[in-house]
């Protein structure tokens, strides 16, 4: 205790000295102000870069239904919306689309300041729910055939485009089988560290779950857990194998 009071009194003393020193420095600075030459005029402003935002409403439709795409842009002279739509009018507007399958729409804004791109995905579910491929197929078999795992990049828990496709398919299955619950297991490759990987695996499972919630799946039907890098799918030491192990794995819950 004594030494801590000692050091705190020292700290106070140092503080006083520092304040004193700073006062001197500030004084010196103020004297110099008059000597500073006027700032050169700023260079002519470059043309502002364009910005663009694309949204879809709704972004989940059943086959045959319409979705409306909205765009807003700034500093753009031309806008191109692909696929199927083509050139559209800046700065903002909307159009209806009726995609027959899940489609990612990309809008490109071009202006004097450069380009900007935004995307939105409209997910299309088949008109009729997928029927059992054979009447004899068990739920386990259907689950194994239709429910796909979501894969991740190293050290990441964000949903990649291929994972969006897989999870969208999973959502369709879960929608068609309302009595099916799932456990989503997060897995990581061996290159990360033990404790950090266990947390990362949980966040991967959470990311998959949150994506399915965004597609309208009831969160109560999905439980998450993480194995970290324990219980890997593949035990070789190469990227093919590591990629196998970086996933949110779907397990049928009973």
Contacting residues toward another protein, per CB under 8 A: 3, 6, 10, 13-14, 17-18, 20-22, 24-25, 28-29, 32, 155, 157, 183, 191-196, 198-203, 206, 223-228, 230-231, 253-254
CB of 146 to another protein, least distance (A): 23
- The residue (of 78 and 183) whose beta carbon lies closer to another protein is 183
The DSSP letter of residue 147 is: -
Contact 122, 99 (CB under 8 A): yes
Residue 68 has a CB neighbour count (10 Å cut-off) of: 13
CB of 182 to another protein, least distance (A): 12
- The residue (of 12 and 127) whose beta carbon lies closer to another protein is 12
CB of 221 to another protein, least distance (A): 14
The DSSP letter of residue 219 is: G
Across 187-204, b (16+ Cβ under 10 Å) vs e yields bbbbebeeeebbebbbbb
- The residue (of 24 and 134) whose beta carbon lies closer to another protein is 24
- The residue (of 107 and 207) whose beta carbon lies closer to another protein is 207
CB of 101 to another protein, least distance (A): 30
- The residue (of 101 and 230) whose beta carbon lies closer to another protein is 230
- The residue (of 48 and 156) whose beta carbon lies closer to another protein is 156
Contact 208, 248 (CB under 8 A): yes
Contact 131, 106 (CB under 8 A): no
- The residue (of 20 and 129) whose beta carbon lies closer to another protein is 20
CA 247, CA 197: separation in Å to the nearest integer?
Answer: 12
Give the distance, in angstroms, between the CA of residue 21 and the centroid of all CA atoms in the same chain.
49
CB of 157 to another protein, least distance (A): 8
- Residue 82 CB contacts under 8 Å (≥ 6 apart), including other chains: 105, 106, 107, 108
CB of 160 to another protein, least distance (A): 16
CA 216, CA 172: separation in Å to the nearest integer?
Answer: 10
Sign of CA dihedral 87, 91, 93, 98: positive
CB of 7 to another protein, least distance (A): 9
| Cis bond upstream, residue 83 (ω within 30) | yes
């Amino acid at each position: 205790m004594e030494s801590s009071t000692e050091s705190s009194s020292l700290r106070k003393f140092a503080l006083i000295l520092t304040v004193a020193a700073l006062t001197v420095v500030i004084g010196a600075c103020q004297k110099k102000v008059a000597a500073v030459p006027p700032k050169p005029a700023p260079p002519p402003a470059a043309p502002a870069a364009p910005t663009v935002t694309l949204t879809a409403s709704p972004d989940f439709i059943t086959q045959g239904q319409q979705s409306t795409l909205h765009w807003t842009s700034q500093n753009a002279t031309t806008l191109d919306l692909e696929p199927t739509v083509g050139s559209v009018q800046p700065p903002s507007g909307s159009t209806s689309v009726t995609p027959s399958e899940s489609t990612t729409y990309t809008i490109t804004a071009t202006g004097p300041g450069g380009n900007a791109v935004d995307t939105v995905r409209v997910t299309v579910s088949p008109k009729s729910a997928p029927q059992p491929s054979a009447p004899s197929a068990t739920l386990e078999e259907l689950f194994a055939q239709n429910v796909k795992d979501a894969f991740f990049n190293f050290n990441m828990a964000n949903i990649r485009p291929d994972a969006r496709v897989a999870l969208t398919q999973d959502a369709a299955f879960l929608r068609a089988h309302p009595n099916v619950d799932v456990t989503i297991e997060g897995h990581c490759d061996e290159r990360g560290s033990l404790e950090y990987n266990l947390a990362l695996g949980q966040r991967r499972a959470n990311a998959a779950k949150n994506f399915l919630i965004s597609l309208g799946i009831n969160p109560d039907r999905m439980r998450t857990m993480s194995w970290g890098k324990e219980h890997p799918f593949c035990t070789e030491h190469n990227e093919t194998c590591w990629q196998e192990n970086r996933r949110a794995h779907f397990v049928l819950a009973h």
